Each structure stands twice: as structure tokens, then as C-alpha cells.
Amino acid sequence: MPRYVVTTKAVSNRDLIIPPGDANARSDAYFTLREPARIISFQPHMHYRGKSMTLEAIRPTDGRPELLSTVNRFAWDWQPTYVYETPLTLPAGTVMHVTAYHDNSAANRVNPDPTAAVGWGDRTIDEMNIGWLDYFYIPEDEFAALQPE
Amino acid sequence: MSVAARVIAFVGLSAVVVAAQPTQPIYLQYDGFVRNADNSLTLAFGYYNLNQVDVTIEAGDDNQFFGGAANREQPTVFLTGRHRFACVMVVRSDSDAELRWQVQFAGHTSVTTDRVLDPRYALEAASAAKIVAGLDRTTPPEGVCTAAPPR
């Protein structure tokens, strides 16, 4: 039995709607960690109209969002996975918040059709707003041991 | 009832009334096309109703197609939320596919793209299978939205 089991989670919101011509269409997605966890990596995934994506952690203790990562010049044809140098340690009940922005304006040079309203779909001409997370849960005692003195 | 209770009741009632007013846009979306074996085309259109309630827009100036017949038995009741493939239509030729669907609602005009046959709008296999599954392939009604669209 392995000590840790890594899960890949797509934090996304399929109710995505991007109006025609909107240069800054925002969508939000959430995922709650059921147990203490360590976050290994973050990968924004969007299509032609992807503009930027951020990842925040909202801890249950104080409810304040903490910015973990931001990719502010997203390129649909270059989607690296950002691996944290040291996995982030977060308590149970932390809400992972992904904020995505899409640019459906004519100013977006790779936009295939700024006249179209765009929603979730598999084709590249459709859109997605996935924040891929790799994480694993850890026991409470291990979480406590990882806290700064 | 105390004054405070009346105020709370009024505010609560107002909130319900405001929530029920359909003031948000309806966005139409061209979902894509399938090239059929006989070289005809199956087109699919959908919509997003951003309101919390269903909206009715009768066929006419506020709900019409451009490019040939204006009334193509398109949806007139727009259910809340997103509805892909709400109108699935078979057309005989590429020139018949030069269609745009437009609705006007809540001061907002939405019209589908004119890039109907852009190869990037070709439906992927799973969606293509959905939209042709409900069609009578022997004598499909041409140029009009079919009934009972698949979801």
C-alpha cells in the first residue's frame, strides 16, 4: 500500500459563458480539500480565448484568500504544468479557488470567431476553464508536524 | 405584524419579484455541423438563457433566421441555462447553410456566427452522433428545426 496517493483534479466550471466580443470574461471554479493536503502542481487549461488564470487557497481558519499562483499571459499552444518547488501544505476544509479570464475580442489574435458566444466544449473552438491540480492527502499528525514552529 | 417584520417581508417579497424578472440576455450559439454521407449538412444551434426563469420569444422580428426563410420552427421557449442542439436542421447544400439565427431580448441582440462551415465548427464524433441520432434519415424535414432535439 503506497503511503500517498496522488490525485489529479480538474477544478472547472462548465457553466462557462463568454459573450461575443468580451475581452475579459471571468469565470470561477471551486474545490474543497476534504483532508489535509499537499499540492504538487497547477496547470491552467483553456483554449484559443484563454487569457489568464489564478489559483487561490481559502483556508477555513480565517477565510482569507491566499494567492498561490497566477498565469497572467496564458498561451493556448503552450500549456506547461507549474510544479511547486516544495509541495504546498493546506488544512482540511481549504477551498481551492480558480479564477479564469477569457478574451473573446477581435484584439485577441488567435480568436477564431469574436462574433460567437462561447461555452464549454471539447473542440478547440469551444472553451474550457480547468485548473488542473495534482495533490495528495496526508494524515492530521503529519500536517501538524509540517506547520512552522 | 410589527413595522420591522413588515419591512423584512416587503424586502423579501421585492427580492423574489426582482429575481423573477428576466432582464438578462439570451445568447444564441451555433453549435456546429456534420457533413452527411449524401453531402447534405446537419446544422445545430443552441442558446444560453442567463435568466432564472424561462423566456418566451415568439417567431417574428425578435426571433428569426436570416438567409432564406425567417421562420424555421425554431425554439420560442428558451429554458433557463445552456441548451446545446436546441435546433437541429438538415440543409441540402453548402449555400443553404448560410444561415444566421437572431433573437432580441432585454435590449440585447444576439445572432449566431456567419462562419457556419468553418472546419473548426465541425462537430466532434460524440456530438455528431447525438444530433443525428434523433433524425429520420430517410425523409428528414429540410431547412427547419427538428422537434425533440437531443440534449
Complex ipTM: 0.85
B108 touching A (Cβ < 8 Å):
no
Chain B neighbors of A121, CB-CB under 8 A: 127
Inter-chain contacts counted by CB atoms under 8 A, chains A and B: 47
B110 contacts A17? CB cut-off 8 A: no
Cell of B8: 423584512
Q: Residue B5: pLDDT above 80?
A: no
Closest residue in B to A122 (Cα) is: B124
Query: Model confidence over A108-148: pLDDT tens digits?
Result: 999 999 999 999 999 999 999 999 999 999 999 999 999 98
Q: How far is B82 from chain A (nearest CA, A)?
A: 8
Does the CB of A110 have a partner CB in chain B at under 8 Å? no
Tell me whether B66 touches chain A (CB under 8 Å): no
The amino acid at A1: M
Check residue B133 and give its pLDDT. Answer: 78
Instruction: Tell me which residue in B30, B124, B127 faces A116 most closely, judged by beta carbons.
Output: B30
Architecture of domain A6-145: Sandwich (2.60)
Residue ranges per domain, chain B?
Answer: 24-133
Q: Which amino acid is at B144?
A: V
Phi, psi of A103 (to 5 degrees): -115, 105
Is the pLDDT score of B107 beyond 60? yes
Annotate B83-127 with three-state secondary structure.
EEEEEEEEECCCHHHCCEEEEEECCEEEECCCCCCCHHHECCHHH
Looking at residue B140, the DSSP 8-state letter turns out to be P
Q: Are B49 and B79 in contact (CB under 8 A)?
A: yes
- DSSP per position, chain A: --S--EEEEEE--TT-EE-TT-SSEEEEEEEE-SS-EEEEEEEEE--TTEEEEEEEEE-TTT--EEEEEEESS-BTTB---EEEEEEEEE-TTPEEEEEEEE--STTSTT-S-TTS-EEB-SSTTSB--EEEEEEEE--HHHHHHTS--
- Residue type present at position B108: H
Percent of chain B with pLDDT over 70: 80
The letter for the amino acid at B45 is F
Query: Does residue B20 sit in helix, strand or coil?
Result: helix
Q: Which residue of A has its CA nearest to B120?
A: A125
pTM above 0.90, yes or no: no
**Residue A131, H or E segment:** strand A130-137
Q: Is the pLDDT of residue B36 over 60?
A: yes
Residue with cell 475579459: A24
Q: Examine the pLDDT at A96 and tell me if it is beyond 90.
A: yes
Per domain, the residue ranges of chain A are 6-145
At residue B134, the 3 state secondary structure works out as coil
* Distance separating alpha carbons of residues A68 and A55, to the nearest angstrom: 6
A19/B contact by beta carbon, under 8 A? yes
